[in-house]
Amino acid sequence: MSESTRKIGNRGEDLAAAYLEEKGWIILDRNYFFEKAEVDIVATDTKWIIFVEVKTRTGTYFGHPEEFVTPAKEAKIKMAAEAWIYERKMETAIVRFDIISIIENKTGEHKITHFEDAFR
């Protein structure tokens, strides 16, 4: 029986958060929901507030993980980001939207690709 998509996604988000922390970024929030929109990770590198969408797949047969961030998904991420910023009264913050793509093989090894400023 194959592993659940949610479990794979959660593991990918944990890997992405650790990767960002290794880069010296500070994780401000994870899995922030606003209405039906979600941001996987909100982080800062002290200059930007970065909203990160994490996509994890166990292969590329159906395409690379980042290809699953559709314009509709981008719109939802932006909506959640606006709410996150508004709730914290940080309207003057400089923001960016990144994608972290993770491909994991059957032995648990993974390849992380970070797309900075992936969409606007």
CA angle in degrees (0–180, nearest 5) for 101-32-7: 50
Grade residue 8 by pLDDT with cuts at 50, 70 and 90: confident
Q: What pLDDT, on the 0 to 100 scale, is given for residue 65?
A: 93
pTM of the full predicted structure? 0.93
**Segment 13-17 long-range contacts (CB within 8 Å, at least 24 positions apart):** 13/40, 13/41, 13/54, 13/56, 15/56, 15/102, 15/110, 15/112, 16/40, 16/41, 16/52, 16/54, 16/100, 16/102, 16/112, 17/41
pLDDT at residue 1 above 70?
no
Nearest to 43, CA basis, from 21, 26, 68: 26
Of residues 48, 44, 39, the one with CA closest to residue 26: 44
Lowest mean pLDDT among 13-17, 39-43, 62-66: 62-66
Residue 61 reports pLDDT greater than 90? no
Fold of 5-119: Trna Endonuclease; Chain: A, domain 1 (3.40.1350)
> What was the pLDDT predicted at 13?
96
